[in-house]
Amino acid sequence: MAYTPGLKVKSEIVLQKTRRLPIPGEVLVAKGAKVDFDTVVARTRVPGDVETIRASQILGIEADDVEELGQYMLKKVGDQVIKGEIIARRISFFGLSKAFVESPVEGTIEHVSDITGQVTIREDPVPVEVKAYIPGRIVDIIRNEGVVVETAASFIQGIFGIGGETHGQIRMAVKSPEDSLTADMLDSSDKGKILVGGAMVAGEALKKAVEIGVRGIVSGGVEDKDLRDLLGYEIGVAITGHEESIVTLIITEGFGKMRMSGKTFELLKSCEGMEAALNGATQIRAGVIRPEIIVPRDRTSAGESRDDRAVFSKGMQPGMMVRVIAEPFFGAIGTILSLPVELQDVESESAVRILEVQLEDGRKAVVPRANVEIIEL
Amino acid sequence: MKRGNEYRFVASGEAPTTVEAPYEDVTLGVRNAVREVEELTGHALLSDDGIILPSKGNVGTDLYVTTSSAGGGLQMMVTGVIKTMTAESAERAALGAGAIVMDVISVDDGRRTFQKIDRIRHLRPDMILLSGGTDGGTVRHVLGIAELISTAEPKARLGAGYELPIVYAGNKDARQKINKILGKKFALKIVDNIRPVLSQENPEPAREAVHELFMEHVMSHAPGYDKLMKWTSVPIMPTPAGEGRMFRTLAEMRGVNVIGVGLGGATTNVYSVYDGKFVRTVSANLGMSYSICNVLKEAGIQNIIRWLPFEMDEVAVRNRLRNKMIRPTIIPQLIDALVVEHAVAREALRLGFAHHKSLARGLRGIQRQRTVSDLFEQSLEEETYIDMMRINIIAGTGGLLSHAPRRSQTALMLIDAFQPEGVTKLAQDSVFMMPHLGVLSTVHAPAALEIFEKDCLVRIGTCIAPRGPMEGAGSLAAVHLNMPNGGSRSEEITQGELKLIPLGEGEFAEAEIAPRSNLDVGAGPGHELKTKIEGGVVGIVLDGRGRPLILPDDPTRRRKDLIKWFRAVDAYPQRALERYEKALK
């Protein structure tokens, strides 16, 4: 049945990132311009919150006469108002009865409804900026919306992450992919850095990283319990990236103690000392988003630019390398020996499509096809 | 396929969706699934243009129908004036149409205007259902909500370039002004009021409009659907709408009350047809893969662990569920992994049903004439009208239930989660085909019904469970069965025990069930019930564990009980149960 295309781990790739404003605004850089991580490439002002006031009610206008509201307005659509300012007034019975409508906020009158008798006031706009996120060259401008930045980089996708975009210098905090990153392995000199762990990052290390001001951590695994302690709440549906005032964390393999894949570890090691961009945002839903580590390289030509669709549309074939992504062989890497068509029973008695795989440690194993991912060589 | 004079199910194929990048074309996944059917049957179905229609000899098929839940299904936002009245009616209508309700906005929902506008803007629904006011009543509130939507200017989730569809099903006197406020910015469709008078709910016109707009606007913007729509002449139905249609058919065919459940990867749909009234609810974030950790969040880790017959610490359970969340397509290879999934399933079903009951209740906001006896029952007014004693059939569908290696696992999951009372039949969808039969029934009802009866609906058996105080050990009820082979059997329903009596599919037994004086099995406390019991692939389950079912707090006692119950219905392999038992000593 299902099989998962492996996560990308590429040493050289030409990468493009679209950087877009949430609503139209001003693009601040020109095509061909060189940008750095923090270069502001576009800016806009997002409309402020909206407040509605039941003006006709306050003024005592009968329900059938709400269309009269306009004649009592002291301010018209487009006018600026300050908090507490009187925007409508109704004097009746020769001045014996007076009613006023005050603006509850500072903003602009947006709408005066002669249907519902409501006045809408929009608060002042909030400035929003979009940064380049990765250093590189602007290769395209999306008019009034943003830019496309291109860079040559090493690119690694994680399986799950928390925390948003950041950048910092990579430091290998462990010696091998089996090691755990513990609190004693980091100190104040790690402020602003991206630390790479091995199989696991301990809960105490996460806490210390936040205290020190470490920008990011990349690890094979993490205990879910430690993640909950760090966030202070339980993640329900896997939509992350908006977490604030924590360290950006990317796990590459899964939850629990998970040896980081050799390829990923070696690639990160080769990038030690370099500046990397990191984004923990993950969405496992329609429109899947995986977290990423981008290490810009001083290259201009593409190293690998295979069409993933071509690779995966072939489906699984004997001889392909796969990684098992569930118990009992979780994390093991091997070569597909055969892909029998018939359904077979596994230990759980589920009748599933399986594959036979020659594992790197010499064992032969039978695994449901759904429980492997294809590894690109 | 027609075999002789019968319409029968022949083969199924499955493939993961290709709605996502890098494919962004659902028809690729459809092709993969159809190719599996081709491989299994040796019958060619595909050409370069899609499905070969109509059939010519050994090639092609006469009819191709499809349902869709791609992209997370139809995601709607509903609005009404009063939360417990028009907004609740609108929510029921949207759910009944197969939608996921992202939020319900009403005048009295406790949020400030800017918060509501912010919410509308950020949710990016596929469609909005706007209701409010009874016909002839005040129009001001519903117009206020319309202005709110107009100010928010929500953008559709799929395809930035099209107008967001809005169905207006509110006070008819406001139609002209609604058109003035919303007509220019949105694809507005006006239908009859969902709540024309307070005492009446009229969901059909809104439901139909939702289906129409779903096809016209939403589906046509999902990647590859333009192609898929050309492959079939039958409108594509949201998967839950197809499912709901078949549960309704089941209830109508038998003239009984039915609870149905579709336990999916992202959502849990619960359907009830009770005294002719159809209600569907969807718990958008309760599911077995994408949403598995939301079950963890909502149920709490201890409520999941309580269903495990072996010791597994919290950290390990958490990590296992998280690993399923991040790689949702993996399947349990080991028996322990399967048992953990079944523990989560019980909680997802339990929570989904609790949600359902909160919407399956009488119309609120109606003035009723009260008698003195009503006053004593007043507190019950807000509760569900579903009485488990009067439910005749509980049926399950969805990947986990349909693919459970043993049907007794499905039986026990349904019993533990829904806790049927009295005599209740259990059934399940054989290979997850109810949604598709639902669409088929719109164009070829006889074929759909025949396949439903013969190949889709698996009779699991019947559960007999007394209701009432369970003090004291021993027998709760005496059960005398006249078996189909002419013999008879006398059994006891024993306190704290489960017992399985074999009675095959298509077989019936005449039963006399005599409960203890304070217990009820359907004829009233202490009264004997005479009834016909239907068998199934599992048989008759005598459940003396009590309602509500309460598991012992002590972990060792609890695990012992679970092992005992699993063994009683032969739910898991003996060697696994022996291993769990050994670990207890």
Task: Give per-residue pLDDT as tens, A224-267.
Answer: 999 999 999 988 878 888 887 689 999 999 999 999 988 899 99
CATH 1.10.10.10 fits A308-374, yes or no: no
Same domain (yes/no): B563, B472: yes
Q: Which residue ranges make up each domain of chain A?
A: 4-44+131-296, 50-123, 308-374
| Residue where the block lists tokens 């018939």 | A342
- Please report which confidence band the pLDDT of residue A116 belongs to, taking 50, 70 and 90 as the band edges: confident
pLDDT at A118 over 90: no
Same domain (yes/no): B339, B487: yes
Amino acid, res. B196: P
CATH number at residue B89: 3.40.50.2300
Judge whether B377 lies within some domain: no
For residue B167, the Cα-to-chain-centroid distance in whole angstroms is 25
Could you give the strand order of the β-sheet that contains B99-106, starting from the edge strand earlier in sequence? B99-106, B74-80, B127-130, B165-168, B187-190
Could you give the strand order of the β-sheet that contains B258-263, starting from the edge strand earlier in sequence? B277-283, B268-274, B258-263, B393-397, B422-429, B457-465, B539-543, B498-501
CATH 3.40.50.2000 fits A4-44+131-296, yes or no: no
Give the containing element (helix H, strand E) for B449. helix B445-451
Alpha helices, DSSP H, located in B312-433:
314-326, 335-359, 372-377, 399-402, 407-418
Same domain (yes/no): B393, B513: yes
Q: How far apart are CA B298 and CA B285, in angstroms?
A: 10
Handedness of CA A370, A371, A376, A377 (dihedral sign): negative
Contacts of A349 in chain B (CB under 8 A): 335, 338, 405-406, 573
Is-contact B248 B384, C-beta < 8 A? no
Whole-complex ipTM = 0.84
Taking CB atoms and an 8 Å limit, are A370 and B331 in contact across chains? yes
| Residue where the block lists tokens 């059909």 | B204
Same domain (yes/no): B428, B517: yes
pLDDT at A304 over 50: no
Nearest-CA distance from A311 to chain B in Å?
11
Q: Domain residues for B130?
A: 70-226
Within a 10 A sphere around the Cβ of B285, how many other Cβ atoms? 20
Query: In the structure encoding, which two tokens stand for residue A207, read together?
Result: 């806490």
* CA atoms within 13 Å, Cβ hemisphere of A317: 8
pLDDT (0 to 100) of residue A27: 96
B176 touches A: beta carbon within 8 Å: no
Same domain (yes/no): B453, B415: yes
pLDDT (0 to 100) of residue B379: 41
Kindly report the CATH class assigned to A50-123. Answer: mainly beta
Within a 10 A sphere around the Cβ of A30, how many other Cβ atoms? 9
Query: Nearest residue on chain A to B146, judged by CA atoms?
Result: A116
pLDDT (0 to 100) of residue B377: 43
Of B33, B62, B91, the residue that ends a domain is B62
Same domain (yes/no): B34, B90: no
Judge whether B128 lies within some domain: yes
End-to-end CA distance of chain A: 23
**Mean pLDDT for the stretch of residues A94-115:** 88
Query: Nearest residue on chain A to B296, judged by CA atoms?
Result: A236
Taking only the tens place, the pLDDT of each residue in A72-85 is 999 999 999 999 99
Taking CB atoms and an 8 Å limit, are A1 and B14 in contact across chains? yes
Stretches in chain B below the pLDDT threshold 50: 370-381
- Please report which confidence band the pLDDT of residue A306 belongs to, taking 50, 70 and 90 as the band edges: very low
Q: Which candidate, B137, B121, B122, B123, places its Cα nearest to that of B81?
A: B137
Within a 10 A sphere around the Cβ of B533, how many other Cβ atoms? 23
Query: Nearest residue on chain A to B174, judged by CA atoms?
Result: A115
pLDDT (0 to 100) of residue B132: 92
Radius of gyration for the alpha carbons in chain A, expressed in angstroms and rounded = 28
What share of chain A has pLDDT > 70, as a percent?
92
Judge whether B235 lies within some domain: no
Same domain (yes/no): B37, B93: no
Is-contact B310 B559, C-beta < 8 A? yes
Residue of B329, B401, B577 to mutate for A, most A C-beta atoms under 10 A: B329
Stated pTM of the model:
0.84
Taking only the tens place, the pLDDT of each residue in B291-312 is 899 999 999 999 999 999 999 9
